Amino acid sequence: MPTYNRADVVFERGEGPYLFDTAGRRYLDFAAGVAVTAFGHAHPHLVEALTRQANKVWHTSNLFRVAGQEKLAERLVANTFADTVFFTNSGAEAWECGLKVCRKYHSATGNPQRWRVITFEQAFHGRTLTAISAAKQEKLVKGFGPLVDGFDQVAFGNLNEVRNAITDETAAICVEPVQGEGGIRVGDEDFLKGLRAVCDEYGILLFLDEIQTGMGRTGRLFAHEWAGIRPDVMAVAKGIGGGFPLGACLATEAAAVGMIAGTHGSTYGGNPLAMAVGDAVMDLVLAPGFLESVERIGERLRRGLDGLVETHPTVFAEVRGKGLLLGLKCIPANTDVVARLRDHGMLSVPAGDNVVRLLPPLIIGEEQVEEALAALGRVAREVGA
Ligand code: PLP
């Protein structure tokens, strides 16, 4: 179906932070498949993990134990707030599992009337009917109604609105610590701490969507760590598979109390191939010093972007984001900037609020930062002229 506005370019192969098209042209990949290929293309450790598993067993279903699931789940539990994990193939499925955990928790603990979830304006949680119903954005929902009921939306960052929206029916608050598709809008520490406090006060669950922000993207394993809070439920995807379709819903044992045998499932979720890659991704992201290096190079890129905003104030309005989840708010159309960058051999991703997202693989160095800043500078001179 023609549901995508695709750029007319076909990539044949990738190497680290670069992609090569069928004509042999090289592109600096600051799109990373929309924050997915966290370790660039054809990373030897990931290729080795996938091919090794491919020679053993691809798929057995969840009728049987899957050793790779047990190992990856244990590693996720050991490094996060979570006690338990459900594996999926995508972000939307991980998010939807999280939503089911939230509703089931209240039903299993004697409060079945608590089923509504507070969400935020400009949120994005995926493209299932429930996920678009939660986000409510016109461009996502138009023509797909009636929508799934049970979502009360308030302004991102506004704790007063959150408090006013809580009723006896509220089950959870669902938030992206940094809104990605919404335009790289960072939820500040006070806001996230405030949400945790409100959840504790009312006995409701804090459900984080870290599908885009997680797995090292912001310079911490998960973005909520910056605020020093712990969620009850969390959806993860994108970077965790490094390009192999993989998602996960993490939860505390208390929050997942209702998720007993038979309550949820997936044919492919936690497939041995995905688990092998996920485990290899964990090796890389947990390597000593890796997250610090993401933070450092993110700061370096950000300083360069701040410089571009200063030099080209008629083209770039501001820099947003954390770590290597960065956004440039544009004055000309962001889609024009993205297309021109591509012409100059650099890939980026448009986001809401006229922002260009810069989502490089987490392995970039000084050289790629310089290259990106040069391409952005060239585009700024072109459109600002
Ligand atoms: N939630 C967030 C914050 C996302 O950024 C995305 C994807 O962009 C999703 C959910 C949906 O993930 P997927 O496209 O893998 O279903």
Model pLDDT for residues 222-273, shown as the tens digit of each residue: 999 999 999 999 999 999 999 999 999 999 999 999 999 999 999 999 999 9
**Predicted model pTM:** 0.98
Q: One of 124, 151, 244, 290 is an active-site residue; which one?
A: 124
10 Å CB burial of residue 65 (0-12, 13-18, 19+) is exposed
Inter-axis angle of helices 44-54 and 272-285, nearest 10: 160
Whether 149 is a known active-site residue: answer no
Whether 209 is a known active-site residue: answer yes
Residue 316: CB atoms within 10 Å? 25
Indicate which residue's Cα is closest to atom 7 of ligand 1. 126
| pLDDT > 70 fraction of the chain, expressed in percent and rounded | 100
Q: How far is the CA of 35 from the centre of ligand 1 (A)?
A: 10
Indicate which residue's Cα is closest to atom 12 of ligand 1. 91
Model pLDDT for residues 268-311, shown as the tens digit of each residue: 999 999 999 999 999 999 999 999 999 999 999 999 999 999 99
Model pLDDT for residues 305-359, shown as the tens digit of each residue: 999 999 999 999 999 999 999 999 999 999 999 999 999 999 999 999 999 999 9
Ligand 1 atom nearest 210 alpha carbon = 3
Q: How many residues does the chain have?
A: 385
Q: How far is the CA of 34 from the centre of ligand 1 (A)?
A: 9
pLDDT at 385 over 80: no
| pLDDT > 90 fraction of the chain, expressed in percent and rounded | 99
pLDDT at 141 over 70: yes
10 Å CB burial of residue 29 (0-12, 13-18, 19+) is buried
Within 8 A by CB and 6+ apart from 325, the residues are: 35, 178, 180, 184, 212, 213, 217, 218, 223, 357, 359
Q: One of 209, 232, 290, 322 is an active-site residue; which one?
A: 209
Choose which residue among 36, 97, 125, 213 to substitute to test ligand 1 binding: the one with the highest number of ligand atoms within 8 A of its C-beta.
125
Model pLDDT for residues 189-222, shown as the tens digit of each residue: 999 999 999 999 999 999 999 999 999 999 999 9
pLDDT at 61 over 70: yes
Q: How confident is the model at residue 81 (pLDDT cuts 50, 70, 90)?
A: very high
Distance CA 137, CA 191 (A): 22
Question: Please, which residues bridge with residue 208 across strands?
Answer: 175, 234
Within 8 A by CB and 6+ apart from 8, the residues are: none
The CA-atom distances, in angstroms, between 352 and each of 125, 203, 233, 348 are 14, 33, 26, 14
- Which pLDDT score is estimated for 152? 98
Whether 30 is a known active-site residue: answer no
Phi-psi region of 34 (alpha: psi -120 to 50; beta: other; left: phi over 0): left
Residue 367: CB atoms within 10 Å? 10
Q: How confident is the model at residue 120 (pLDDT cuts 50, 70, 90)?
A: very high
118, 174 contact by CB (below 8 A) = yes
Distance CA 53, CA 275 (A): 9
pLDDT at 384 over 90: no
